[in-house]
Structure 1
Amino acid sequence: MASFAGPEIERLIGLLAKLPGMGPRSARRAALALLKRREQLLEPLAASLRETADKVRACSRCGAPDTRDPCAICADPARDGSLLCVVEEAGALWAMERAGGFRGRYHVLGGLLSALDGVGPEALRVGELVERAAAPEVSEVILALPATVDGQTTAHYLADRLAGAQVTISSLARGVPVGGELDWLDDGTIVQALRARRPA
């Protein structure tokens, strides 16, 4: 493919294209928008990226990204230390926090087990989870993992690894979303909803 811009612009486009949800066309449009608004977008973004790269680290307790260690959530004394919620990545943690319904602590695995991608337990923060679950204050570990094959495989593996700990192991309920209509749902969601039914 012919190059229409200098190597710096091509590198910018190439890096942007690696971001989730960005293909080559979207990356070119984003690069052009950044270049067109250099002072308002490009320079502040470059400074923010540099500052983030310099200051953000993974929390030594939970694995979430933050500028301090322990992170804000782990350092919060108002959090319920008896509840430990296991998530795949920080994005899931942020979604849980946005919902505002959980006041316990988190553990970020850093991914999911995947035989196809060659991701085994040693690539994830499993040992740290087992160690944290063994702490006397922890009474429940909530497996908040995706309802995918890899997510369920990881959940089963973690349940086996945590079997020796004196904790309750639970997972998020699956099923019909609030406001959902049955005729619009996929078969798997309906089956999960039936399995997770409770008294009315």
Structure 2
Amino acid sequence: AENPDKVQELVERWWAEAGKYNVLPLDDRAHMDVPPGPKGKFTYYPGMATIYEPGIPDTKYSSYTINADVNITEEGAEGVILSIGGRFGGLTLYVQDEHLVFDCNYVGLSHSTIISDEEVPAGESTLGFSFEKTGEADPINHTAAIGTGTLLINGKEVGKGTIAPTTPARYSWEEGLEIGKDRLTPVTESYMGPFEFTGTLKKVVLEVKD
């Protein structure tokens, strides 16, 4: 600095004012903490407003299921059924290339992806995903609950895999739970947002277990 004495004076003054107005300690980690979301059964419909944390049902520390009632024409359909979060953490259930897919994005670093081994049929059907918790959250290893994910078409198991690690903190300030689309940044690079569902999406039921 050209005037080190003046710089030092300003630094000391800054710290004095910071102490005076109770802005210490300087720690921005608090924004990452978010209490677990609610548990129970929640029914969502296309066109609903985005839900943000902590209003999003607890998909981090509990077992849960997602079931969507859809109607798909003979020409097929694709798009997001339910998404939470975005590029830097979240999860998404979607249809692509005639298959049902679930993707869990771990803070933008890795993905747990399950693809159905059967095609999604035309007509009315229920497309689902089940997460069964097998391990509790582990703050030391920076993960929320881990478990086994299962894809379901009309109640039949069509895909299974391990979901780990999982996002232990806030998914996002700007991106929440959406039905039938994934706006802003996509949870997975397998599609471009908003990737709206092109079939008829009647409703989505998210049930969080104790």
Give the TM-score normalised by the residue count of structure 2: 0.24
Q: Which has the higher strand share?
A: 2
Give the TM-score normalised by the residue count of structure 1: 0.25
